[in-house]
Chain A
Amino acid sequence: METGPLLAVVCLFMPMLSALLIAVLGGRMPKICDLIGIGTMGVSLLCAIVLGLGHATYGAQTWEFTWITMDVGWVTSEPLSWTLGITVDGLTTALLLVVTLVSFLVHLFSKGYMHGDDRYVDFYRWLGLFTFSMLGLILSDNLLTLFVFWEVMGLASYKLIGHYFFKQSAFMACKKAFMTTRVGDIGMFLALLAIYLYTDSLQFKEIFANLDMIPVGAQFWIAMGLFMGAAGKSAQFPLHIWLPDAMEGPTPVSALIHAATMVAAGVYLVGRMYTLIVLSPGALVIISIIGCFTALMAASIAFTRTDIKQVLAYSTVSQLGFMFTALGVGSNIAWKAGLFHLATHAMFKACLFLGSGSVIHGCHHLQDMTKMGGLRKKMPITAMTYLVACLAIAGFPFTAGFWSKDMILQALWAGNGHFDDVYKIIYVVLALAAAMTAAYMFRSYFLTFEGKPRDQHVHDHAHESPWTMTTGLIVLATMAIAAGYKWHDALLPNSPGGLEGVLSPIATFAKTFVIHGEGNEVAHHAHTIALYTSLTVAFGGMILAGVWYMTAFGVGLRQKMRAMIGPLYGWASGKFFIDEFVQMVFINTSIFFAELTSWIDSALLDGFVDGTGSVTMKTGAASGVADDAIVDGAVTLAGNSAWWGGALLGRFQSGRIRNYLFGAVASVALFAVVMLYIVAR
Chain B
Amino acid sequence: MNLTLLLPEIIVIVGGLAVMLRDLWLPADRKDGLWAWALAVPLIALAATFLPQLDVAARISVDGAMIVNPEATALSGSFYLDGMSMLLKRAFCVAAALVILMSREYLSELNRGQGEFWSLALFALSGMFFCASANDFMSLFVALEVVTVSFFVLVAFKRSSGTSIEAGLKLLVMGSLSAALMLYGIAFVYGASGTVFFDQVVVNGEVTRTGLRDLLATGQLVYSTELLIGVMLIFLGLGFKTSAVPLHVWVPDVYQGAPTPVTAYLSVGSKLAGFVLMLRVLEVFSRSGPMVDSLTPFLALVAAVTLFYGNLGALPQSNIKRLLGYSSIGQCGYILLGIASAWTVGISGTLFYMTAYVVTNLAAFAVVILVSRATNSHEIDDYSGLGRKNPLLAAALTVALLSLAGVPPFIGFFGKFMLIGSTFGSDELRWLGLVGMVNVVIALYYYLCVIKRIYMREERHPAKSVVPLRLKVVLAISMAALVIGGIAPQFLADKTAEIAEELQFAPRPRGGEHR
Interface residues of A (CB under 8 A from B): 23-24, 27, 66-77, 632, 635-636, 642-643, 645-647, 649-650, 652-653, 655, 657, 660-661, 663-665, 667-668, 670-672, 674-676, 678-679
Residues of chain A within 8 A of B67, CB atoms compared: none
Q: A73 with B309: in contact, given A24-B392, A668-B236, A675-B298 (CB under 8 Å)?
A: no
Asked if residues A68 and B493 are in contact (CB atoms below 8 Å), the reply is yes
Nearest B residue to A76, CB-CB: B515
Residues of chain A within 8 A of B162, CB atoms compared: none
CA distance A652 to B252 in the complex (A): 11
Residues of chain A within 8 A of B493, CB atoms compared: 68, 70
Asked if residues B514 and A73 are in contact (CB atoms below 8 Å), the reply is yes
Residues of chain A within 8 A of B509, CB atoms compared: 73-74
Nearest B residue to A25, CB-CB: B391
Looking at the complex, which one of A69, A72, A665, A674 makes contact with B345 (CB distance below 8 Å)?
A: A72
Asked if residues A68 and B345 are in contact (CB atoms below 8 Å), the reply is no
Asked if residues B425 and A74 are in contact (CB atoms below 8 Å), the reply is yes
Looking at the complex, which one of A69, A72, A676 makes contact with B225 (CB distance below 8 Å)?
A: A676
Asked if residues B316 and A72 are in contact (CB atoms below 8 Å), the reply is no
Asked if residues B345 and A664 are in contact (CB atoms below 8 Å), the reply is no
CA distance A73 to B515 in the complex (A): 8
Q: A671 with B249: in contact, given A67-B489, A72-B421, A678-B297 (CB under 8 Å)?
A: no
Can you report 26 A-B residue pairs in the complex whose CB atoms are below 8 A from each other? A27-B388, A66-B490, A68-B493, A72-B345, A72-B418, A73-B344, A73-B345, A73-B425, A73-B512, A74-B425, A74-B512, A642-B315, A642-B442, A645-B312, A645-B315, A646-B317, A649-B312, A653-B252, A660-B173, A660-B250, A661-B177, A663-B246, A667-B245, A668-B247, A670-B246, A671-B246
Q: A27 with B391: in contact, given A649-B313, A657-B169, A668-B236 (CB under 8 Å)?
A: yes
Q: Give B10 Cβ to nearest chain A Cβ, in Å.
A: 36
Q: Give B398 Cβ to nearest chain A Cβ, in Å.
A: 12
Asked if residues B391 and A664 are in contact (CB atoms below 8 Å), the reply is no
Please tell me if B283 contacts chain A, counting CB pairs below 8 Å.
no
Q: Mask for B297-337, Cβ within 8 A of A = 1, else 0?
A: 11001100000110011111100000000000000000000
Asked if residues B391 and A23 are in contact (CB atoms below 8 Å), the reply is yes
Asked if residues B301 and A674 are in contact (CB atoms below 8 Å), the reply is yes
Query: Lowest 6 CB-CB distances: which A-B pairs, in order?
Result: A667-B246, A646-B315, A649-B313, A660-B249, A74-B425, A646-B312
Interface of B, secondary structure class, is helix
Asked if residues A646 and B316 are in contact (CB atoms below 8 Å), the reply is yes
Asked if residues B424 and A74 are in contact (CB atoms below 8 Å), the reply is yes
Q: Give A63 Cβ to nearest chain B Cβ, in Å.
A: 15
Contacts A667-B245, A672-B229 known; list 20 others, CB within 8 Å: A66-B490, A68-B489, A68-B490, A73-B343, A636-B308, A642-B315, A643-B315, A643-B316, A646-B312, A657-B174, A661-B177, A663-B246, A663-B249, A664-B246, A664-B249, A668-B247, A671-B246, A674-B301, A675-B298, A675-B301
Interface of A, secondary structure class, is helix
CA distance A15 to B312 in the complex (A): 40
CA distance A670 to B512 in the complex (A): 29
Asked if residues B316 and A665 are in contact (CB atoms below 8 Å), the reply is no
Residues of chain A within 8 A of B90, CB atoms compared: none
Which chain B residues in 163-191 approach chain A with CB under 8 Å?
A: 169-170, 173-174, 177, 181
Q: Give A177 Cβ to nearest chain B Cβ, in Å.
A: 19
Residues of chain A within 8 A of B9, CB atoms compared: none
CA distance A646 to B308 in the complex (A): 9
CA distance A675 to B231 in the complex (A): 12
Please tell me if B105 contacts chain A, counting CB pairs below 8 Å.
no
Asked if residues B442 and A671 are in contact (CB atoms below 8 Å), the reply is no
Residues of chain B within 8 A of A24, CB atoms compared: 391-392
Q: A679 with B228: in contact, given A69-B490, A660-B249, A663-B249 (CB under 8 Å)?
A: yes
Q: Give B121 Cβ to nearest chain A Cβ, in Å.
A: 25
Residues of chain B within 8 A of A663, CB atoms compared: 246, 249
CA distance A69 to B494 in the complex (A): 9
CA distance A76 to B245 in the complex (A): 35
Residues of chain A within 8 A of B302, CB atoms compared: 671
Please tell me if B497 contacts chain A, counting CB pairs below 8 Å.
yes
Please tell me if B376 contacts chain A, counting CB pairs below 8 Å.
no
Which chain B residues in 356-397 approach chain A with CB under 8 Å?
A: 388, 391-392, 395
Please tell me if B19 contacts chain A, counting CB pairs below 8 Å.
no
Residues of chain B within 8 A of A71, CB atoms compared: 344-345, 497
Q: Give A258 Cβ to nearest chain B Cβ, in Å.
A: 27
CA distance A68 to B512 in the complex (A): 24
Q: A664 with B177: in contact, given A652-B249, A679-B225 (CB under 8 Å)?
A: yes
Residues of chain A within 8 A of B225, CB atoms compared: 676, 679
Nearest B residue to A72, CB-CB: B421
Asked if residues B245 and A653 are in contact (CB atoms below 8 Å), the reply is no
Asked if residues A671 and B298 are in contact (CB atoms below 8 Å), the reply is yes
Residues of chain A within 8 A of B298, CB atoms compared: 671, 675, 678
